[in-house]
Amino acid sequence: MPEIRFSAALLAGVLCACAARPVETTRTAITPDTLPSRIELGHALEVRRLTDDVWLHVSHKDLPGVGLFPSSGLVVRAPGGILLVDTAWTPEQTRVLLDWVRTALGAEVREVIVTHAHDDRMGGSEVVTAAGATIRALPLTIERASQSGSPLTATPLEPTGELELLGGERVSVFFPGAGHAPDNVVVWLPSHGVLFGGCFVRAGGSTGLGNLADADVASWSAAIRRVIERFPSPTIVVPGHGAPGGPELLHHTRDLVDAARAER
């Protein structure tokens, strides 16, 4: 409906004028509605639009015995720049993603939240650090990254913290307890109704719990219930691998975890 868009644009203009912040002006200069909903960037990397200001980045890696396997993170457009939730899987894919952000969104990646210390979450950490972005991660994630030989230059996150980043973007980070990994966090973006579950949350099509190398299934059972209780009605839930959905992904994960526990 063009009338509504026009009004919203006018309102945004008025707000910008009141706030008198140059970053807001940059934001309104972007014309994101001309961007297609799914864009292949090459290097086994693509971006998909989830909401007006949130994109999924999906990077694929060729896993032995599995083939090309997708991993998802987020690109969030905030008033003062771009927030990534997790890097792409590899440094090269992350470089391509930063280039796309710069040219398509006209902004720089300034903040990155890493949701646990595995390669699919932080494989591009050196690239984002070199680009001047601030990485934030749990102290345990920083410690585990260092132990794994891929040290993170990161600012410690509180296990349960409300952040306001990049000119007013509200971000809620929640450590529910160990699950897929001892340090997994979920990230809630209240302005967009998006809950990023990462590898702690399984996709709708998943029939199992995935990589259990660092998992604690007993703890995961209580932890997924804490997430359901804390975030009862997210509009969009994004798993670490596979298609986004709604709150049913949280229930699906709970059921998979319970089934895995029953088998043990």
Out of 53, 57, 86, 120, which one is annotated catalytic? 120
61 contributes a contact to Zn ion by CB under 5 A: no
Q: Is the Cβ–Cβ distance between 107 and 29 less than 8 Å? A: no
Annotated catalytic residue within 53, 57, 86, 180:
180
**Phi/psi class of residue 211: alpha, beta or left (left: φ > 0; alpha: ψ in -120 to 50)?**
beta
CA dihedral (35, 38, 40, 41) positive or negative: positive
Least separation, in Å, of the C-beta of 259 and Zn ion? 20
Give the C-alpha separation, 135 to 24, whole Å.
23
Residue 84 or residue 199: which is nearer to Zn ion going by CB?
A: 199
Report in angstroms the alpha-carbon separations of 210 from 90, 108, 179, 207.
20, 33, 11, 9
Instruction: Pick one of 16, 187, 199, 249: the residue that binds Zn ion (CB under 5 A).
Output: 199
Cβ atoms of 89 and 120 closer than 8 Å: yes
Report whether 224 contacts 176 (CB < 8 A). Answer: yes
Tell me if 144 contacts Zn ion by CB under 5 A.
no
CA distance 81 to 79: 6
Tell me if residue 57 is catalytic: no
Name beta bridge partners: 68. Answer: 62
Q: Is 258 one of the catalytic residues?
A: no
CB of 202 to Zn ion, least distance (A): 12
Residues numbered 219 to 258 that lie near Zn ion (CB under 5 A) are none
- Least distance from Zn ion to the Cβ atom of residue 206, Å: 14
From 50-58, 110-118, 143-151, 253-261, give the range in contact with Zn ion by CB under 5 A.
110-118
Nearer to Zn ion, 178 or 199 (CB): 199
- The 10 Å Cβ neighbour count of residue 150 is 15
Given 61, 118, 202, 252, the residue binding Zn ion (CB under 5 A): 118
What residues are labeled active site?
116, 118, 120, 180, 211
Binding site for Zn ion (CB under 5 A): 118, 199
